[in-house]
Amino acid sequence: MSKVDRRILKTQEALKTAVIELMTEKNFDDITIQDLSDKANVSRGTIYLHYMDKYDLLDKLIETHINELRERCEAAADLDFVTGSVIWTEYFERNYAFFSTMLASKGAPFFRNRFLEFLIEEFQDEVDNTKGKNEGLNKDLVVYFLASSYVGVVEWWFRNERPVTHLELAEQLGALLERICE
């Protein structure tokens, strides 16, 4: 595997940081390439060397975080729901600027939809509607309910500026997941 030049990584990181910072100031649709260029202290041409447009930049940023959450899911596959939730909420906490911008503002409704789609995929294997509390229920409905609820709680946490610690959030989410999925 070839190494990526550190200057490229530094530029891409500056652009990702710039888009998040700009989204706290104004709607994504109102952000221009010049705004990004100024905020990241790079030329407009440099932006186009790395991304097709601002939507490509945002899409790649979103996919980076979704892929990281996916990897954390895979790593937590054999853990209980509370411990698995701690792994996620720690990630939310460490990436507060990104998630609070994406979920607590009008900045990027497409992130919320992408996050919801991802959770629906992840919860498909967790819900069993053939026995127990969920027996006879429509599996798609239960999965959608679970994923929507999870997104809603995480949004609530960011919108209210983390009214409980990420550990308390993890314990509560884990307990709720256990009630629905086991």
State mean pLDDT over 46-70: 95
pLDDT digits over 123-167, tens only? 999 998 998 899 999 999 999 999 999 999 999 999 999 999 999
In the predicted structure, residue 56 carries a pLDDT above the cut 60: yes
CA separation for the pair 112, 153 (Å, rounded): 12
Q: How far apart are CA 139 and CA 124, in angstroms?
A: 8
CA distances from 161 to 33, 93, 102, 113 (A): 30, 11, 13, 21
Query: Rounded mean pLDDT of the chain?
Result: 92
- The average pLDDT across 60-75 equals 94
Architecture of the 1-51 domain = Orthogonal Bundle (1.10)
- Do 18 and 10 meet the contact criterion of CB atoms below 8 Å apart? no
